[in-house]
Every structure is written in structure tokens, then in C-alpha cells.
Structure 1
């Protein structure tokens, strides 16, 4: 990602993230240490994910609902780097 980013870990079935890291290596070490299962995702800083995707031409809003809160608050992009972990180990 071209902007400043952070890595956020969401455990399986968690309602909220359980870790935010400036560097991927810090995150992966923490995940391994605690044998966690979930997803580690890279997020842009100081912008919303939808705005980031539009700015980088990864997403083009085409429908009226693309400007509504319900869509914006749940938007995620397949262009964000993300990794899946099971019991602290990176899986496909």
C-alpha cells in the first residue's frame, strides 16, 4: 500500500480486533506466541477503506447504496493484504 498502514488482527468469531501493529513482523510474532486463530489485515491509516479503494482505483462506486453508511461501514477490499492463521500458524 502506498500510504502509511497498520496491521490489524481479528480473531475468529471476535466482534472487535484484538491487536493493532505498525509492522507485520510484530503482529506475526504475537500471533505465534499466543497460538491465535484469525485474520491479519493491512489497513491504510487516516482514511477509510472505501475511500482508499476508490482513490487507488480498486473500486468504482456504481450503485446509490455505495454512498450509504451501511455499505461504507462494512466495506473491505480484496486488494488489502490479509493472512489467515490457525493456532498461530500461517495457512493458505
Structure 2
């Protein structure tokens, strides 16, 4: 299998992203330029995050609802997930999970 290519998606409080970047540094530059508050997350191209996390051994479904469309559609691996401008942020990586 070919090594995954990634993009960085910036979410700033909307249901839709406000930017997609080829590197974390470019995303952080946009955040700094406009003083944005949001989350910058790395996502694999051409794959569901759910499938990618399972293939990489980062997560596996253990409960029946974890294989259902609603769960899969809300899943994020958060393997590279950084928050900016939020009080108490440590910009650290977070474990895999679905946003409920």
C-alpha cells in the first residue's frame, strides 16, 4: 500500500472548514495572521479517517454502534489534532475517538 498523503484542515467554529493546507506550518501562519481560534487537524487524502485509523492500528471498533454510518461519519483519529486560541490549550496530540 502506498504511503498516505495528508492535508491539514482548519475549523474555526463553523460546520465547514475555513482552510485546507499542505502543511501544519502554513495552517499555523494563517491562524497567526488573522488571530483565529480553532482546530487544525491532519487528515489522510483518499481515505476515510475511520479506515485509515484501523489500517494503522490506532483504533478498532469494539461495540456494534462503532461500525454504523453515523459513528463512521463523525469519527476523527485526532492523531494530529491541535487547538489554537482556546484557554488552557496545550496544542498536544489527542487519542483516536469519534466526536459525539
TM normalised by structure 2 equals: 0.79
TM normalised by structure 1 equals: 0.85
Q: Calculate the aligned-residue CA RMSD, in Å.
A: 1.5
Q: Look up the SS of the partner of 1:73 in the other structure.
A: helix
Match of 2:85 in 1: 86
Contiguous gaps of at least 5 residues in structure 2 = 91-100
Count of aligned residue pairs for this structure pair: 86
| Alpha-carbon distance, 1:64 to partner | 1.9
Q: Look up the SS of the partner of 1:84 in the other structure.
A: strand
Q: How many Å separate the matches in 2 of 1:66 and 1:48?
A: 14
Q: How many Å separate the matches in 2 of 1:85 and 1:62?
A: 32
Q: How many Å separate the matches in 2 of 1:69 and 1:18?
A: 25
Matches within 5 A, 1:60-79: 60-78=60-78
| Alpha-carbon distance, 1:86 to partner | 0.9
Q: Which segments of structure 1 move beyond 2 Å, counting only runs of 4 or more?
A: none
CA offsets per residue over residues 27-75 of structure 1, 9 Å max, x none?
1111110110011011111100100010001111122212211100001
| Alpha-carbon distance, 1:5 to partner | 0.4
